[in-house]
Amino acid sequence: MGDIGRRSFLGYSLAGGAVALAAPADTAKTEAPPPPVTRLLARYAVGGQFADIPAAVRREAARTLLNWVGCAIGGSQNETVPIAISALAPFFGPAQATILGRKERADILHAALINGISSHVLDFDDTHMATAIHPAASVVPAILALSEHIPVSGRDFLNAMVLGIEVECRLGAAVHPAHYDIGWHITGTTGVFGAAAAAGRLLKLSEQQMVWALGLAAAQPVGLREMFGSMTKSFHPGRAAQNGLTAALLASKNYTSSGQGIEAKSGWANVVSTQHDYKDIQTKLGKSYLLSENSYKPFASGLVVHPVIDGCIQLRNEYKLKADQIAKIDLRVHRLVLELTDKKSPQTGLESKFSVYHAAAVGITEGAGGEAQFSDRAARAPETVALRGKVTATLDASLKGDQARVVILLQDGRRLEKFVEHALGSVRNPMSDRALETKFLGLADGVLPVARAKQVMEHCWNAANLKEAGAIAKTAAG
Amino acid sequence: MGDIGRRSFLGYSLAGGAVALAAPADTAKTEAPPPPVTRLLARYAVGGQFADIPAAVRREAARTLLNWVGCAIGGSQNETVPIAISALAPFFGPAQATILGRKERADILHAALINGISSHVLDFDDTHMATAIHPAASVVPAILALSEHIPVSGRDFLNAMVLGIEVECRLGAAVHPAHYDIGWHITGTTGVFGAAAAAGRLLKLSEQQMVWALGLAAAQPVGLREMFGSMTKSFHPGRAAQNGLTAALLASKNYTSSGQGIEAKSGWANVVSTQHDYKDIQTKLGKSYLLSENSYKPFASGLVVHPVIDGCIQLRNEYKLKADQIAKIDLRVHRLVLELTDKKSPQTGLESKFSVYHAAAVGITEGAGGEAQFSDRAARAPETVALRGKVTATLDASLKGDQARVVILLQDGRRLEKFVEHALGSVRNPMSDRALETKFLGLADGVLPVARAKQVMEHCWNAANLKEAGAIAKTAAG
């Protein structure tokens, strides 16, 4: 069928008619058919066993869960969250699920949305670096809410979480980087599949139902990179969680979809990307785990300035530095640091995240790089403002992205230097369990009592043994 | 910023960090900036006045509304609808809005979803032929549900409906046909904008809030052509209605989004299409109306066989034909008829929609082409089965898409012929108001008592004078 035929039939639309079912353009081609990607992923999602997941991957799942819950608790206080709640609460269903860090409860679909927003709004959640996906952001809110509605053991929860993240990241890897370069926010566009797969597993979908769930997920991608810097960015993983959960629920009642929602000619991969490579989906599911490559941010800023913060905090701690001892801070940095964070005098917390000068200064004055150090308060703190005027940053083309060189000249003439080879939180230098706990407690500070925050952490570390996974959410209520 | 830099920062993701706010790739370019499409559409949606809409366009809006409501009532009995309800009812909020043709009620977001599904599931709704959009399918369910939640006059309702459809169709026209050719189901991908604009108007959004609502819409397109032939096809406009309504509700509480969600480099138009032309959006909003080009299907099948059905019904009526008088039916048809509907022995109602032989036969045996004529019952009716064995169809390259030539040879030797120049329901030969009413009553048959069906029709014709637009939905409850 020619181009004209495909789009209009001499005044008639073909789109509306069921006639488009049999598209001759497809059948006329002699290309090899694509592998059955949707079915392979569905089969893995319904069949993968917890017993087959290596201990190290299970441990990474617990770390990912802990980090995600902390981010959701901390993010729950951001103005974005009460705005979303106030807009949608009149339409909430029964109070089935917890909104983490808050008193409000919602039906599981809205809880998935709101918790997804909370967990991503601080840009502090986990990252699968090779695909730029935040793996937990859509998967965990979908199944955590579901676990308050139907009985789910901690073991089943973790299994579904791992399977969902693998489906999400394998699919992301299959279309990255072309998909991301087009302008899609891959966390939302693949998150809907991860949420559908994980929720579908807990709903005990058959393989055919899971195929439909993935098809329903394919039809509702969420997220444009254009939205970065607005509240809609965090809406993406939240809505993806809600969409994926909806897809699984519909499929559980045999709401049908395509059998090849991902790989068909007019399926997801061809529509949202210009390239794809299904090899790993065909050969690696259940054999290796992309979750193993997950990473966690130690600092509440863009990743590009993490080496600088890391180096400044290290020098501060080694030499017990005070701001008034310092004459000058010379930074040698990767190209992108100057391209993206050359803001000399940030006036707000958000702006301060785009200032390598602020990042260096606050690393010295406060010895940390959490949300508190990128707040309006911190951006205007006189000692930090004064110190950042003494910071210079110079391109060093020999540096890699997770590297920086920090040189501090003291008033007494001493010269201190730190080369950061792999910034804390990068793949080569991951955050320790202890560091994750410290981050968690910082995020929960002022939201939950310390004792309860510690109980939530304990639930996360011990998730595989929980009788009811929903306890994680219930304990994290504000 | 180079390709590597855009997608990964030597092991660091840039996607997660707010760093992507300032994308140097954009600022380095010297291309002329795109026109402010999002703002132009927002300004039109918040400012367009009912008094400025020509009477003929208002009348077309009423026809569109009537046709949509009939389709939703008829579609409400399709199995797709109770399946969706059974999956999602446990999460419904307060019973704020009617599900047309049914006893169940739902919160307005779920009502928008379900009514959108009902209205499209029969593939019998309105079509804007030049863009392949079904204009009402997402816009009307969003604002009809909203009109049961807040007070909305019929006049405001019709105004919002027209504005929403214009936003939707102008945006569709700006990216058609490239967008559709990629594989997107344009009804869902543009419907979310139409629903957001119309709902946002009724929520009295400011221009800035409307910009955000359109940005939130841009981030959640729905619909792949791969889903045609499954229940997910009708999910598309339903979900688009729900997404657009959600976008407007969030924006009404100042949930922020991009200011250039449509036209930015990583905005909607560049991400979901390879081409766009904003000229008409810049010059024609409020000056001409794409709603004027809306059309309505007289027959419940793919549009390609409409000329054949039309011709057969005309001959039947002119000559009072009975099936047993007929020796042979020879059809001359457009190429696509054979490509898409060459099914000789359909066994089910759905299959019969792909059979030009069935379409011709049932036009004679039943003198109609509604849902009843493309049902399982009709596909197996002995008289129709026997007659379709006497039908042949031959390509005639001289025919246009809305044309067919029907030749009937009778047992008594007579030869009857009808050339259909413009099939009923095509742009050149629109359905009359009376024909729309007959279609409506056919769809409502068995769902609503006749007196109430007529009352619903009266509300639609008289919509501009209704005190409460919600009365349309309430009267159409099952």
Does residue A78 share a domain with residue A167? Answer: yes
CA B229 to chain A, closest CA, distance in angstroms equals 6
**Do residue B292 and residue B311 come from a single domain?**
no
Residue B6: what pLDDT? 31
Which residues in chain A have Cβ-Cβ distances shorter than 8 Å to B90? Answer: 93-94, 107, 149
How does residue A428 score in pLDDT terms, banded at 50, 70 and 90? confident
**Which tokens is A241 given?**
């969680």
Those residues whose C-beta lies under 8 Å from the C-beta of residue A199, and which sit 6 or more positions away, are: A142, A143, A146, A160, A164, A213, A244, A245, A247, A248, A249
B159 to chain A, closest Cα gap in Å: 24
- Which parts of chain B sit beneath pLDDT 50? 1-29
Q: Is B231–A256 a contact, with Cβ atoms under 8 angstroms apart?
A: yes
Specify if A450 maps to a domain: no
Spell out which residues of chain B touch residue A91, defining contact as CB-CB under 8 Å: 93-94, 96, 107-109, 249
The one-letter amino acid at B390:
K
- Same-domain status, B129 and B253: yes
Six token digits for residue B184: 């997107």
Same domain, A26 and A123: no
Interface with chain B: mutation pick from A80, A124, A212, A228, highest number of B CBs within 10 Å: A228
B173 lies in the same domain as B287: yes
Structural domain including A22 reads 1-30
Are A243 and A181 in a shared domain?
yes
Nearest CA distance, A51 vs chain B (angstrom): 31
Measured CA to CA, the distance from residue A275 to residue A297 in angstroms comes to: 30
User: Coil, strand, or helix at residue A353?
Assistant: coil
**Residue B448 forms part of a structural domain:** no
**For residue A454, is it within any domain?**
no
Per residue in B248-282, pLDDT tens?
A: 999 999 999 999 999 999 999 999 999 999 999 99
* Residues of B with Cβ-Cβ distance to A21 under 8 angstroms: 228-229, 354
Give the C-alpha separation, B131 to A382, whole Å: 59
Tell me the pTM: 0.91
The answer to whether residues B81 and B181 belong to one domain is yes
Q: DSSP label at A473?
A: H
d(CA B250, CA B261): 15
Residue A356 lies in a domain: yes
Question: Hey, of A138, A226, A255, A333, which one would you mutate to test binding to chain B, going by the most B CBs within 10 A of its CB?
Answer: A226
HEC-encoded secondary structure of chain B: CCHHHHHCECCECCCCCHHHHCCHHHHHCCCCCCCCHHHHHHHHHHHCCHHHCCHHHHHHHHHHHHHHHHHHHHHCCCCHHHHHHHHHHHHCCCCCEECECCCCEECHHHHHHHHHHHHHHCCCCCEECCCCECCHHHHHHHHHHHCCCCCCCHHHHHHHHHHHHHHHHHHHHHHCCHHHHHCECHHHHHHHHHHHHHHHHHCCCCHHHHHHHHHHHHCCCCCEHHHCCCCHHHHHHHHHHHHHHHHHHHHHCCCCCCCCCCCCCCCHHHHHCCCCCCHHHHHCECCECHHHHEECCCCCCCHHHHHHHHHHHHHHHHHCCCHHHEEEEEEEECHHHHHHCECCCCCCHHHHCCEHHHHHHHHHHCCCCCHHHHCHHHHHCHHHHHHHCCEEEEECCCCCCCCEEEEEEECCCCEEEEEECCCCCECCECCCHHHHHHHHHHHHCCCCCHHHHHHHHHHHHCHHHCCCCHHHHHHCEC
pLDDT in tens, A78-121: 999 999 999 999 999 999 999 999 999 999 999 999 999 999 99
Instruction: For residue B441, tell me if it sits in a domain.
Output: no
Q: Does A352 lie in the same domain as A238?
A: no
User: To 10 degrees, the CA torsion angle through A187, A189, A195, A197?
Assistant: -120
User: Does A431 fall in a domain?
Assistant: no
In a domain, A430, yes or no: no
How many angstroms separate the CA atoms of A14 and B53, rounded? Answer: 29
Cβ contact B8–A130 (<8 Å) = yes
B222-236: per-residue pLDDT in tens? Answer: 999 999 889 999 999
Among A96, A132, A334, the residue with its CB nearest the CB of B15 is A132
User: Is residue B125 within 8 Å of B66, Cβ to Cβ?
Assistant: no
Tell whether B90 is covered by a domain.
Answer: yes
Same domain, yes or no: B78 and B150: yes
- Looking at residue A401, its pLDDT comes to 87
Enumerate the residues of chain A whose CB falls inside 8 A of the CB of residue B128.
13
Give the residue from A3, A4, A12 with the most B CB atoms within 10 Å of its CB, the best one to mutate. Answer: A12
* Whether residues A316 and A376 fall in one domain: yes
Same domain as B309, residue B291: no
What pLDDT, on a 0 to 100 scale, did the predictor assign at position A20? Answer: 35
Mutate to test the interface with B, among A225, A252, A275 (most CBs of B within 10 A): A225
B56 to chain A, minimum CA–CA distance in Å? 21
Query: Which residues of chain B have a CB within 8 Å of the CB of A183?
Result: 265-267, 270-271
Q: Which chain A residues are within 8 Å of B350, Cβ to Cβ?
A: 18
What's the confidence (pLDDT) of residue A30? 60
Strand order of the β-sheet with A415-420 is A391-395, A326-333, A404-410, A415-420
Whichever domain contains B155, its CATH number is: 1.10.4100.10
Reading the block at residue A145, the tokens are: 């809410």
CATH number at residue A389: 3.30.1330.120
B21 with B45, same domain: the answer is: no
Tokens matching residue A237: 């993983």
Q: Find the closest chain B residue to A22 by CA distance.
A: B340
Q: Is the predicted pLDDT of residue A23 greater than 80, yes or no?
A: no
Provide ipTM, 2 decimals: 0.90
What is the distance between the alpha carbons of residues B423 and B403, in angstroms, rounded to a whole number? 6
C-beta of residue A147 within 8 angstroms of C-beta of residue A469: yes
Please state the domain count of chain B: 3
